Amino acid sequence: MKNLVAAALASALVSACGPAPTARSAVAGLPRYTPVEAALLDDSLAREVTGLPPGGALRDDRLLERRLEEAEGVALVRIVTVTRGVLAGAPGFDVVVEPLGAPLAGEIPDRIELRVPASSPAFPLLEQAEASIVGRRFVLLFRHYDDGGARRVHFRGETESEALRAALGARRAASGGDGEAGRGRGRGPDP
């Protein structure tokens, strides 16, 4: 009997001292955010999204097809909140958007939080417009990435345009009508 109790106690101690089960990483299965991806989903907004007039050169649409291919989701969205704060020790904005209707391509959650640090191309536009853009609509192209070990949404905010509608239509036709974004890249897990 003593041996049985000792064996059970030893077994319990070995189990307690063994490695703890690891939680699934928040970035498991997500593509890495590399300079190639940063050129496509560059955390920028068209000036018109913020109510500012188009500036200088027109927005470059030469990469539109590649941006649509990279995106996990594309949707017409509305800005719900804009909050100025501190992101990683520097000024930044948290912008929450909600889709208006069904996705234009891919999938999109009910809400997306866009983190806009001071280094983002969208930061100066948000700094000028800030709260006045709440309620504005734009077309969001986005994807979740492994960004240095952290799960992060990177995006591109576009105005509705004929070029965008044509590119989405071509994508739908090529994919058999579903307009799936991000084909071949492996979609990350839902937020």
In 39-89, the DSSP E strands lie at 44-45, 73-87
CATH number of the domain bearing residue 44:
2.40.50
Domain count, the chain: 1
Q: What is the pLDDT of residues 77-135, one digit of tens each?
A: 999 999 999 988 899 999 999 999 999 999 999 999 999 999 999 999 999 888 889 99
DSSP letter, residue 67: H
Q: What is the pLDDT of residues 157-182, one digit of tens each?
A: 998 888 888 888 888 888 776 555 54
Domain assignment of residue 191, yes or no: no
Q: Structural domain of residue 110, as residue ranges?
A: 32-174
The pTM assigned to this predicted structure is 0.77
Q: What is the pLDDT of residues 9-44, one digit of tens each?
A: 444 444 444 444 445 688 899 999 999 999 999 999
